[in-house]
Amino acid sequence: MLETKNVFIDTQYFVKSSYNFGSRSFSLLRKLCQQNELCYLSTSVVEQEVEGKIQNSIKESLSALQSFKRKASILSTIEDEHLSSLFTDVEEKDIYEKASAVFHQFNRDCNYEYIEANLVDSEQLLELYFQQKPPFGDGKKKAEFPDAISLLSLESFLDKDDKVYVVSEDNDLKKYCVGNEKLISIESLEKLFDIYNQHTNVRTEKIKRYVAERSEDIRKMVLDYLASYEVYNHSTWEDAEVESCDMTITEDFEVNVVQVIDEECLLTFDVNVDFDVTVVGPDFANGIYDKEGGHMFTFDSTTREESITLEFSCELTLEYEFVEGELQSVEWGNFDILNIAGGIEIAVEEFPDQDWY
């Protein structure tokens, strides 16, 4: 049941979404807010946090770009317009201003309510901190002050009988919401849309039942999709490569009905995939270091086997006929796993238990 139209998005969710305000989820939120189906709330704390994290992300990205330019300088000597574009100078200030503008435009497009922190009870804030109550942990964690201020700002803004969905996977925020009559913890916008659709569209229950009965087919579809991508080792173990990889899905997963349009629907789900990998690389442990040349010479290879679990966000469309309250002639449409265009990255080190510090 949809308990309220109000929704608040924590900084953590923006970070996880890579600030992609053109994504399906953010686009759907924008649409529902413009239709007054949902009401988006944001605090001054979150706005400042997101701006800061966008700026830091841009700094890291530009630093990685500079590193690429240094290592791939030979490409800049080749006369090719596509390669030349990789070496174009980028101004950090201009990029930040554009990225920040997209964030603020998204907020305005959602007709959001901006909540300042001026009504927060400082005594209540200090009580949470010194009594080590959520969102502060056992170590009190002063870094959680922004979260506490944001949550208290929400509570001060809401009327007595109002509620709000708090979208975040942050455990401290989730703990704060437990038993709170105003704040309802929910892990993602996709789960919120699933609740919304169950509340507003009778087809949603039928779709969820259909999908639940075909969980094994979905597992196979995910594994087949992943098998078409390269699994590569990204770690400090230089030149180490993945020799073999077995993938399995052992945990259950929940499918969210994000959008229902006529006789088509969009489903999303997060699935944990276990990778049993064998990685082969240079045997640096028995190598010889050349002090004059500053180079490590290796004469053999070594093998590491490791099990790694990765989470993937998936999207699937279904097309169907809805006849006398039942789904008929169901066809599976587009299926996509997000953010793996460059391959599947794992990290296996030659010395996994070595403490270098």
Report the mean per-residue pLDDT for the chain.
89
Question: What integer is the mean pLDDT of 23-34?
Answer: 95
Asked if the model's pLDDT at residue 354 lies above 60, the reply is no
Q: What pLDDT sits at residue 269?
A: 95
3-state secondary structure string, 279-338? Answer: EEEECHHHCEEECCCCEEECCCEEEEEEEEEEEEEEEEEEEEEEECCEEEEEEEEEEEEC
Q: Could you tell me whether strands 6-9 and 39-43 are parallel, antiparallel, or unpaired per DSSP bridges?
A: parallel
Does residue 170 contact residue 141 with C-beta atoms inside 8 Å?
no
What is the DSSP secondary structure assignment for residue 142, as one 8-state letter? G
**What span, in angstroms and rounded, lies between the C-alpha atoms of 350 and 238?**
9
Question: What integer is the mean pLDDT of 87-103?
Answer: 86
Asked if the model's pLDDT at residue 304 lies above 70, the reply is yes
Question: What integer is the mean pLDDT of 81-106?
Answer: 84
Question: What integer is the mean pLDDT of 254-271?
Answer: 93
DSSP β-bridge partners for residue 279? 242, 304
Cα pseudo-dihedral 236, 238, 243, 245, rounded to 10: 20
Check the CA dihedral 33-37-38-39 and report its sign.
Answer: positive
Q: What pLDDT sits at residue 139?
A: 61
**What span, in angstroms and rounded, lies between the C-alpha atoms of 24 and 32?**
12
**What span, in angstroms and rounded, lies between the C-alpha atoms of 103 and 199?**
29
Check the CA dihedral 83-89-93-98 and report its sign.
Answer: negative
Check the CA dihedral 121-126-131-132 and report its sign.
Answer: positive
Neighbours of 73 (CB within 10 A): 10
Does residue 337 contact residue 225 with C-beta atoms inside 8 Å?
yes
For the segment 290-299, what is each residue's pLDDT rounded down to a tens digit?
A: 777 677 778 8
Residue 357: band (very low, low, confident or very high) from pLDDT cuts 50, 70, 90: very low
Residue 112: band (very low, low, confident or very high) from pLDDT cuts 50, 70, 90: very high
Q: Which long-range contacts (CB under 8 A, 24 or more apart) does 143-150 make?
A: 144/172, 146/45, 146/49, 147/10, 147/45, 147/172, 147/173, 147/176, 149/43, 149/45, 149/117, 149/120, 149/125, 150/10, 150/43, 150/45, 150/46, 150/117
Residue 224 is encoded by which pair of tokens? 């087949």
**Helix (H) / strand (E) containing 232:** strand 231-233
Question: What integer is the mean pLDDT of 124-148?
Answer: 76
Q: What pLDDT sits at residue 261?
A: 87
For the segment 151-207, what is each residue's pLDDT rounded down to a tens digit?
A: 999 999 999 899 999 999 999 899 999 989 999 999 999 999 999 999 988 899 999
For the segment 4-21, what is each residue's pLDDT rounded down to a tens digit?
A: 999 999 999 999 998 999
Asked if the model's pLDDT at residue 285 lies above 50, the reply is yes
Q: Which ranges of the chain would DSSP assign to H, the alpha helix?
A: 11-16, 24-34, 44-71, 81-85, 92-109, 122-130, 145-157, 171-177, 189-200, 203-212, 215-227
Q: What pLDDT sits at residue 335?
A: 95
Sketch out the chain's domains with CATH numbers: 6-193 (3.40.50), 202-346 (no CATH)
310 exposure class (CB count in 10 Å sphere: 0-12, 13-18, 19+): middle
Q: What pLDDT sits at residue 353?
A: 67
Residue 320 is encoded by which pair of tokens? 């169907």
